[in-house]
Amino acid sequence: MRFFRRPNPVKFYCRPNTGDEDIFRAITDPASNEYQLPASLEGMKVLDIGAHIGSFSHACLLRGARYVYAFEAEPSNYEVCRRNLEPFIQKGKADARNQAVWRSDLARMPLLSFTPSADPQNTGGGNVFFGDNATCQVPSVSLDSIIEEVGDIDMLKIDCESSEFPILLTATKLARIHDIRGEFHEVGGIYNPQATIPDKAQVGSCAAYTIESLRECLGRHGFGEAAFKRYRYPDGRLCHIGMFFFLKREPTSLRFGPAKPK
């Protein structure tokens, strides 16, 4: 493994011949700062869904986050994530779990089929949403149950290759989150019309999952849209993938609540 030495003694590991380093730099390089993290997250509790090798979680902890919960479905990604976060885990500031976060409207959480990206270098591109050509089964946990366990969340980051839709559309406890930011991956709609929602991920009668689906859902839970951008293909066409940032419309005391790490 290759590692990067930050200004403090914490090392960060990236696997050679993969896109790990590119993902790490996209999140942590101030020139890109993909998730638009502020300079300080002092005292904040963060939930990282789709943690990959821990780049976002690590960046939050270096910015002073009080506690970070990192969830990663793919086992080998999780092992690297755990290694990268281990110094913070030992200090009681982080928790890493090898679970896929999934919908909150099920009586019993299923094992989900994980399919890696067709590009072997893209270690962050796998999914449990479609489940075709799966290489392993992973346990799942609902977003509602996480919030019940850990309490109010100051910042939720979510990047899980279309699973953001069933996760957020079925959650009932989003009022306990102050800030949601992540990457959307539309299924159906004008930018990805050939894709269809698999039965296991279907919520209600939705014919397509689009950024408008998230805007409507989060609006019902008191969020206002802070920013939204859609990526472009190399030829300039707009893509079905992009970034979103939602904040609560009204200030809350969420940021200043007592710590509830497990």
pLDDT digits (tens, 9 = 90+) for 84-128: 999 999 999 999 999 999 999 999 999 999 999 999 999 999 999
pTM: predicted TM-score of the whole model, two decimal places: 0.91
**Residue 242 has which token pair?**
């992009």
Rounded distance, CA 76 to CA 56, Å? Answer: 17
Q: Which helix (H) or strand (E) holds 137?
A: strand 136-142
Rounded distance, CA 25 to CA 181, Å? Answer: 18
Domains of the chain: 19-256 (3.40.50.150)
CA angle, residues 196, 169, 219, in degrees to nearest 5: 120
For residue 11, what pLDDT is reported? 83
Rounded distance, CA 177 to CA 223, Å? Answer: 9
pLDDT digits (tens, 9 = 90+) for 223-259: 987 788 999 999 999 999 999 999 987 544 333 233 3
**Residue 143 has which token pair?**
């977003």
